[in-house]
């Protein structure tokens, strides 16, 4: 669970680096970002041995976990070398390694999703197989949601050191964050339509409420607030709102992870 969460966050953060207007942001920001992904990659490597019950029941897991460890090590190496490139102001080389981090983490997410797909095919249950096929798409949306909130919040803090920087990068990240939240909302709604009857007990309903209200709807409202705040170039207030987005997004995605472990449904 920790390793998968770390890979999702790495993937989402690196995706946001590729989508944001990088020329408007100083190199120091990306240097620190790649050190963050370095730490996350090391954490993922150290926790990959802790499998869920679904993963343990799948024959493909031993090989998958070995490949995933190799991918996490590659991400760590690329993150370290990339941070050195950004320190030396070699932006093209830095972006090359940032792109490599994104591609490797994307492959890692698909390998984790492969476990869910394979489990669904083994049961020969069409609905379970459908949810298994939805899992990779859901994981990418989750990664983008986590990354959008985290990178946006960290970029907001970066304005404290470079107050003359234009608000275009923060506006772009906030827009991307809003778009992926809408995508996350649509995917969750589709899965919930087929899985509503499987939700039982008060605990699962609480997790579902946290997933929707804290993880999707509330951050959507906050992105509108950030957009309006940035019209007045008040980056400090926008950063505070984005910090709340990070907390709510983490609550929502962790609740969704608990639901997935209970129901094997990407809500």
- Which pLDDT value is given to residue 126? 47
| Mean pLDDT within 101-121 | 81
Cα gap 188→116, rounded to integer Å: 17
Task: State percent of the chain over pLDDT 90.
Answer: 68
DSSP-derived letter for residue 49 is T
Of the candidates 135, 115, 118, the one whose C-alpha atom is nearest the C-alpha of residue 52 is: 115
- Judge whether 172 and 21 are in contact, CB under 8 Å: yes
- 56-103 confidence digits (pLDDT tens): 444 456 777 889 999 999 999 999 999 999 999 999 999 999 999 999
Radius of gyration of the chain from Cα atoms?
A: 19
Cα gap 167→182, rounded to integer Å: 23
- 191-235 confidence digits (pLDDT tens): 888 878 778 777 888 999 999 999 999 999 999 999 999 999 999
The number of angstroms, rounded, from the C-alpha of 258 to the middle of its chain's C-alpha atoms is 16
| Mean pLDDT within 43-56 | 69
User: Residues 137-159, buried b or exposed e (16+ Cβ, 10 A)?
Assistant: ebbbbbbbbbbbbbbbbbbbebb
- Which pLDDT value is given to residue 50? 63
Q: What's the whole-model pTM score?
A: 0.91
| DSSP assignment of 93-105 | HHHHHHHHHHHHH
- Judge whether 219 and 149 are in contact, CB under 8 Å: yes
Biggest CA-to-CA distance, the chain: 58
In the chain, where are the structural domains located? 2-263
SS3 call for 20: coil
Structure tokens at 168: 């275009």
- Is 134 a residue whose pLDDT tops 60? yes
- Judge whether 100 and 78 are in contact, CB under 8 Å: yes
């Amino acid at each position: 669970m920790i390793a998968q969460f770390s890979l999702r966050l790495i993937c989402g953060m690196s995706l946001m680096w590729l989508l944001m207007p990088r020329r408007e942001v100083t190199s120091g920001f990306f240097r620190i970002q790649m050190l963050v992904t370095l730490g996350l990659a090391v954490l993922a490597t150290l926790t990959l041995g802790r499998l869920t019950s679904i993963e343990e029941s799948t024959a493909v897991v031993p090989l998958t976990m070995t490949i995933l460890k190799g991918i996490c090590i590659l991400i760590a190496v690329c993150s370290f070398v990339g941070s050195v490139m950004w320190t030396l102001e070699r932006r093209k080389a830095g972006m090359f390694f940032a792109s490599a981090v994104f591609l490797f983490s994307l492959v890692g997410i698909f390998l984790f999703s492969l476990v869910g797909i394979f489990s669904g095919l083994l049961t020969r249950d069409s609905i379970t197989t459908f949810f298994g096929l939805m899992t990779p798409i859901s994981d990418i949306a989750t990664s983008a949601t986590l990354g959008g909130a985290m990178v946006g919040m960290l970029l907001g803090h970066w304005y404290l050191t470079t107050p003359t920087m234009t608000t275009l990068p923060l506006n772009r990240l906030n827009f991307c964050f809003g778009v992926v939240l809408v995508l996350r909302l649509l995917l969750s709604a589709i899965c919930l339509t087929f899985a509503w009857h499987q939700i039982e007990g008060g605990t699962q309903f609480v997790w579902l409420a946290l997933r929707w209200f804290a993880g999707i709807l509330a951050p959507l409202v906050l992105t509108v607030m950030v957009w309006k705040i940035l019209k007045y170039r008040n980056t400090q207030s926008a950063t505070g709102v984005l910090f709340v987005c990070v907390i709510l997004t983490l609550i929502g995605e962790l609740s969704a992870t608990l639901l997935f472990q209970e129901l094997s449904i990407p809500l």
